[in-house]
Amino acid sequence: MITLVIYDITDDELRNKVASFLRMKGLKRVQKSAFLGDLSHSERVNMEAGVRRLIKDSKANVQVYPLTPACYSQRSVIGVEMSYDEEEFLV
Amino acid sequence: MITLVIYDITDDELRNKVASFLRMKGLKRVQKSAFLGDLSHSERVNMEAGVRRLIKDSKANVQVYPLTPACYSQRSVIGVEMSYDEEEFLV
- Nearest by CB to A59, from B65, B68, B80: name it: B80
What's the confidence (pLDDT) of residue A90?
A: 46
- Nearest by CB to A78, from B33, B48, B78: name it: B48
pTM check: above 0.95 = no
Give me the helices (H) in B1-91, please.
12-24, 41-55, 69-73, 85-90
CB atoms within 10 A of CB B11: 13
Residues A6-54: tens digit of each pLDDT: 999 999 999 999 999 999 999 999 999 999 999 999 999 999 999 999 9
* A51 inside 8 A of chain B by CB: yes
Residues B28-87: tens digit of each pLDDT: 999 999 999 999 999 999 999 999 999 999 999 999 999 999 999 999 999 998 877 545
Domains and CATH numbers, chain A: 2-89 (3.30.70.240)
* B71 inside 8 A of chain A by CB: yes
* CB contact (8 A) between residue A63 and residue B6: no
